[in-house]
Amino acid sequence: MDTQELQRLKNKYDIIGNDPALNRSLEIAVKFAPTDLTVLVSGESGVGKENISRIIHQYSARRNGRFFAVNCGAIPEGTINSELIGHVKGAFTGATETRAGYFEEANGGTLFLDEIAELPLPSQALLLRVLQSGEYMKVGSTRVEHTDVRVVAATNVDLAYAVSRGRFREDLYYRLAAAQIRMPSLRDRKDDIYLLFRKFTSDFSEKYGMCKVSLTHDGIDMLRSYRWPGNIRQLMNFTQTVTALESQKITPTTGRIEIDAATLSAYMPVESGNLPAPLQGDGQGSGSSFSDSERQAVFKAILDLKRDVDMLKRELSSAREAAAPVQIPSGTPESTHAPWSGDLDPEDQAQEDIPSAPENLSWKRTEDDLIRRALEKYHGNRKLAAQELGMSERTLYRKLPPEFRNKK
């Protein structure tokens, strides 16, 4: 594909950039298009994978057929098969009529399956059969039907790693991986970042009659230095926000506003370690990624850990208050103690640290009364009473009022 033809392709699909990896991906898409190969488009979220599927469709013999884009991750697991292959009347509760699925609707055309890794394993088996033979049976039917559909799949995770974890069928992976197109991330296209910024601010400004925003050299450097984990989609939203807040209505004398790094820094996203980031593989099986369910499990574990730590802090605070030393009147001599050893319970050590001066009788009576109430509440169960009082069983035993010492 020569330079002019490549540029016409970019103009048609509103693709901005001159990065060699991007150009290579577009050229491969055009070469795959005339065939009926199933194509797997890989790359991070927001890099423009759907554009590749539309290019393949438009440059193929199926261009006059229908094109459907399906987000596999957005369809509930219980209905995904019905969405893909359809169902007959009465197949399940609520199936009041026979319905065609995407494979039937797209017959003779192209079906783009985005987030293919989110397909449940039973649906992966169904997809494999359709890819191999073009055959399927609607949910609730026993009649075999046929379809002639070109499938383009996309994923933002490492499918080879998903196979190794048992989350993706190995036979389906090899079926999809025969023809792959890898879309580069925006952080690997640094020379294209400012081109995209200019495109997005220009489109936004024209739509709302505002001045376009340009950046000084230090502003451009700041823009390029950020890693843009959300890729093109994130940059577009960022640019629109900056334009909306920093620009103004066009006047006869003002059509463009320039901002520097100091101004831009107020809008730059802050990368923090508050959330675990998904690990992206290199497409060769050496990487790994978290699925949505795994990320949720990590978040839950973090929250559970925080809850347990907070509970432990409260328990320790209660224990310290229960074991707090009696205030010694000024001038009362203090006792000396041996240092704590591993054979002594920490709570006992706290009690040993209490000066050996005569105890405040009023405080002692109050403590005995609390212990009696706790033991009566739990019918003499020392373990439950100790938990109620925020102390260990050893400490409770040592503090037992005389009438409870000989009771089991």
* pLDDT tens digits in sequence order for the chain, 408 residues long: 788 999 999 999 999 999 999 999 999 999 999 999 999 999 999 999 999 999 999 999 999 999 999 999 999 888 999 999 999 998 888 888 999 999 999 999 999 999 999 999 999 999 999 999 999 999 999 999 999 999 999 999 999 999 999 999 999 999 998 899 999 999 999 999 999 999 999 999 999 999 999 999 999 999 999 999 999 999 999 999 999 999 999 888 888 999 999 999 999 988 654 443 443 444 333 333 444 455 445 544 555 565 566 666 666 766 666 665 545 444 444 444 444 444 444 444 444 444 444 445 555 677 787 888 888 888 888 888 888 777 887 787 778 877 776 665
Residues 243 and 220 both lie in one domain: yes
- With 0-12 / 13-18 / 19 or more C-beta atoms within 10 angstroms meaning exposed / middle / buried, residue 253 is exposed
Give the per-residue pLDDT at 390: 75
Looking at the structure of the chain, the number of domains it has is 4
Residues 159 and 12 both lie in one domain: yes
d(CA 41, CA 203): 28
Residues 207 and 351 both lie in one domain: no
Residues 126 and 202 both lie in one domain: no
Residues 98 and 239 both lie in one domain: no
Residues 6+ apart with CB under 8 A from 135: 129, 144, 145, 146
Is residue 106 helix, strand or coil? Answer: coil
Would residue 272 count as lying in a domain? no
CATH, residue 180: 3.40.50.300
* Domain limit, last residue, from 155, 184, 213: 184
Residues 6+ apart with CB under 8 A from 121: 167, 169
Would residue 285 count as lying in a domain? no
d(CA 321, CA 252): 74
Can you read off the two tokens belonging to residue 134?
Answer: 């073009």
- Terminal-to-terminal C-alpha distance of the chain: 91
The closest alpha carbon to 328, from 359, 349, 351, belongs to 359
Residues 180 and 192 both lie in one domain: no
Q: What is the DSSP letter of 254?
A: B
Q: Please, are residues 293 and 301 in contact by the beta-carbon 8 Å criterion?
A: no
Tally of CB atoms within 10 A around 230? 17
The residue ranges of DSSP E strands in 61-192, in sequence order, are: 67-71, 86-87, 99-100, 110-114, 135-136, 145-146, 150-155, 180-182
* Domain limit, last residue, from 184, 213, 234: 184
Residues 312 and 335 both lie in one domain: no
Residues 40 and 122 both lie in one domain: yes
Q: Is the dihedral of CA 90, 91, 93, 96 positive or negative?
A: negative
Q: Do β-strands 256-259 and 99-100 pair in parallel, antiparallel, or remain unpaired?
A: unpaired
- Residue 194 main-chain phi, psi, to 5 deg: -70, -30
Residues 83 and 208 both lie in one domain: no
Would residue 180 count as lying in a domain? yes
Beta bridge partners of 182: 42
Would residue 259 count as lying in a domain? yes
User: Which domain covers residue 254, as residue numbers?
Assistant: 188-264
Give the per-residue pLDDT at 306: 53
Provide the whole-model pTM: 0.65
Q: Please, are residues 61 and 34 in contact by the beta-carbon 8 Å criterion?
A: yes
Would residue 273 count as lying in a domain? no
CATH, residue 389: 1.10.10
Residues 90 and 200 both lie in one domain: no
Give the per-residue pLDDT at 361: 54
Residues 307 and 338 both lie in one domain: no
Alpha helices (H) along 102-216: 102-105, 121-133, 159-164, 170-177, 190-208
d(CA 35, CA 55): 13
* Domain limit, last residue, from 145, 169, 184: 184
Would residue 115 count as lying in a domain? yes
d(CA 37, CA 150): 7
CATH, residue 229: 1.10.8.60
Would residue 33 count as lying in a domain? yes
- Residue 69 main-chain phi, psi, to 5 deg: -110, 120
Q: Please, are residues 122 and 161 in contact by the beta-carbon 8 Å criterion?
A: no
Q: Please, are residues 265 and 275 in contact by the beta-carbon 8 Å criterion?
A: no
- Residue 206 main-chain phi, psi, to 5 deg: -65, -35
Residues 13 and 100 both lie in one domain: yes
Give the per-residue pLDDT at 172: 96
Residues 6+ apart with CB under 8 A from 386: 392, 393, 395, 396
Would residue 271 count as lying in a domain? no
